[in-house]
Structure 1
């Protein structure tokens, strides 16, 4: 019987592990993959963080090397592996969680390997980058070219000489499009115009200013998610690519044709490959039996605390507490924040039956 089980051992799960360890709790991390690196090994080879190493650390272990550089994917993978080793975190790999059930006092967790675990509390730390979100367009089944999600993209060489569309308006879409423009003719297709924010302001990275002002520590989740315009942090590579004619941007096409796409002006264009950099869907289906999810499969939670299931907590959700919640720099503060309600819950669940029922009833209300 564990005090806490953490589902997922990527950046969010590892942050939770170090905080649980510091609190002296009995816990384990269940990781679906073969190593404590989350989704990072599945990203494209050249992926680069948009936050400097100085602001890309988990609790208790600074990111190594020049603090002002922007680490690559493989550096992040190595850092996460070393983080688990440094703190001797109890990570159980190849332990994909398929189902979670709740008894009166504890959770029972079942894995695809057939192993069962029991715990008084649970932290779902699988993050938002598990299931690629691939939209469907009219005529898509007729298209003879290649369609893939950005999660399947690795490097530009296979696209040499092609006509390529990259659909999306985020960091991944821009990074992939700029890289592909070295070997192919590329267009970014997005529903809204692209917006850019400079990486450096007054000689300092914008993450420095967010840290200095406390913006990245202030709970902005609901307001930010609903009202902040989507913008890409420009490292100095994106806008010049458009200005120099290496990239163009168009409004998303209306439909596919057999040979390409039909743009909104009813002009058909032959296309070889379409890459959808259209994000991911949450991987929380294992919580379905708990009644912890809404009709869209999203967590019913506030600041990482389940509003439906006492003892259930979340880490790594987008805008969970701040705009940085789903990033390397955001999961640490969020892990620290959920420790107070989690430890209070453990105290309640270990108390006398009468006191426990009275307190849990107030928690549910």
Structure 2
């Protein structure tokens, strides 16, 4: 008997994961991709087009490490560096698609025009345009995998005088490489990851770069304690528990070279722009600087024009149930993958969302049993996000943020993929200690539940070797890098786990 028919919209990192999980669950996926290739925003192209906002700049490199960013059952090659340039990410995605034979399920140059639910809610009609010809399809479920970066935000109304500025102004999505900005005076507006990257890169060729920000931000280095990638040190279950007892600063930007460029004057930090003149910018503190170029690194917003109620599907009040299911649907046959911003790696987060959505599409009895996706979900969603609301700012970007480990555990619990640490300690203490103190790698969610992977345990225990491998360009005799967690603390926590295990057994 054939499985349910599922439409996957978009063949980027979330779409590829959704296709693979459809096949894993015995469903029949058809992916519609508007361009002629996979990869989404990670696929670099030199020339601009109407989809320029979905293309990375030439030097773009991931700010999460390869061990944390992989799909759960397909680790990155150990020869890959720990942080991947966009070309390496594309190489990994092509390997993944080829290994699981995903491209045969993708229809390229196919733009989805409309998605309409039938009156009896039995299925959904999808209208698609391919090479000028429109075709209609019927599906049992829809996976929207077009992501967060759909429309660039260019808030010109917030910058008086920009229309009379005689220099050049662009959104960061139009930036490709620094060559044409030689000896220019440039201001980058916005201090997110792309804003910091562009300011650093342009400072090598420009006569002066200014970086305008309305607020302060914490700068993270990709390399952390003992030479480890930052996310392998910060995103652990142990650190997640500690974060509950002292303030955390999650509003951070990756900018390894930014402090050096600031202290040497190559990048000058400025307050918010009050207004532009024909040749300069006047800042909130009253200072004025002459300019040739303005680059707005002011982010993106999502848009789903193919949906009947695009304006009401998503809103700033978190009405989406755990950022996946819209609450107003009578039956959960529409799922959004990748419209949240985890403080951590995106690929495993989006992949776990897909695993949950597929189980719901198949009618599996999850936490939704006995509840309609209606007003109940608005209450549950508000409850789910209220504990972390104080950690983020109230703007479109930050309302989509979630804590990585907490959110992953929450979704994993829905599908039975989250392991109980005390029980693991009983039969495999080495693995339990690594899960608690080590990085919360994607492989932890393949130890059990749907899509269980036989190689998960080994991948969890060998993450250090995978990190060190590409760095061994010459032979040295040295000890293993010291752990970022003191031995006495590991021992105390291991003893606590042992006591909890005994309590469970006696109970």
Q: TM-score, normalised by structure 2?
A: 0.62
**1:150-194 Cα deviation digits (max 9, x unpaired):** 111010000000000011111111111111000001011011123
Unmatched tracts of structure 2, length 5 or more: 44-54, 377-507
Give the alignment of 1:251-266 within 5 angstroms.
251-266=271-286
2:418 is matched with none
Which structure: larger Rg? 2
Over 3 Å counting, the alpha-carbon distance change for 1:117 and 1:180 in structure 2 is same
2:162 is matched with 140
1:20 is matched with 22
Query: Is residue 312 of structure 1 aligned with residue 331 of structure 2?
Result: no
Distance (Å, rounded) in 1 between the aligned partners of 2:203 and 2:319:
38
Secondary structure of the 2:362 match is: helix
Over 3 Å counting, the alpha-carbon distance change for 1:291 and 1:71 in structure 2 is closer
> Is contact 1:9-1:38 (8 Å) kept?
yes
Secondary structure of the 2:355 match is: helix
2:214 is matched with 191
Distance (Å, rounded) in 1 between the aligned partners of 2:9 and 2:169:
32
Pick the aligned partner of 1:91 from 106, 110, 129.
106
Secondary structure of the 1:344 match is: coil
2:66 is matched with 53
Distance (Å, rounded) in 2 between the aligned partners of 1:330 and 1:67:
21
Distance (Å, rounded) in 1 between the aligned partners of 2:10 and 2:239:
27
Q: CA deviation at 1:360?
A: 9.2
2:356 is matched with 337
Q: CA deviation at 1:9?
A: 0.9
**1:83-125 Cα deviation digits (max 9, x unpaired):** 2222122111111112110002111111233122211111111
> Is contact 1:109-1:116 (8 Å) kept?
yes
Give the alignment of 1:168-187 within 5 angstroms.
168-184=190-206, 185-187=208-210
1:160 is matched with 182
Pick the aligned partner of 1:120 from 130, 136, 140.
140
Distance (Å, rounded) in 1 between the aligned partners of 2:357 and 2:172:
32
Distance (Å, rounded) in 2 between the aligned partners of 1:158 and 1:138:
27
CA RMSD of aligned residues (A): 2.9
Give the alignment of 1:163-312 within 5 angstroms.
163-184=185-206, 185-203=208-226, 204-213=228-237, 229-235=250-256, 237-289=257-309, 293-294=313-314, 300-309=320-329, 310-312=332-334
Over 3 Å counting, the alpha-carbon distance change for 1:159 and 1:363 in structure 2 is closer
Secondary structure of the 1:75 match is: helix
Secondary structure of the 2:115 match is: strand
Q: CA deviation at 1:215?
A: 7.2
Over 3 Å counting, the alpha-carbon distance change for 1:259 and 1:206 in structure 2 is same
Secondary structure of the 1:14 match is: helix
**1:186-241 Cα deviation digits (max 9, x unpaired):** 0110111232134333222221134532779x9x9xx9xxx964211343x12111
Query: Is residue 109 of structure 1 aligned with residue 126 of structure 2?
Result: yes
Secondary structure of the 2:351 match is: helix
Give the alignment of 1:57-76 within 5 angstroms.
57-66=70-79, 68-76=81-89
Distance (Å, rounded) in 2 between the aligned partners of 1:283 and 1:264:
32
Structure number with the higher helix fraction is 2
Q: CA deviation at 1:291?
A: 7.6
Q: How many pairs does the alignment contain? A: 343
> Is contact 2:125-2:136 (8 Å) kept?
yes
> Is contact 2:188-2:211 (8 Å) kept?
yes
**1:22-71 Cα deviation digits (max 9, x unpaired):** 11111111111111111222110000111222222124322234355211
**1:252-311 Cα deviation digits (max 9, x unpaired):** 211111112122244432211111111111032222347851467987342412212221
> Is contact 1:54-1:67 (8 Å) kept?
no
> Is contact 2:64-2:344 (8 Å) kept?
no
The range that moved more, 114-123 or 286-295, is 286-295
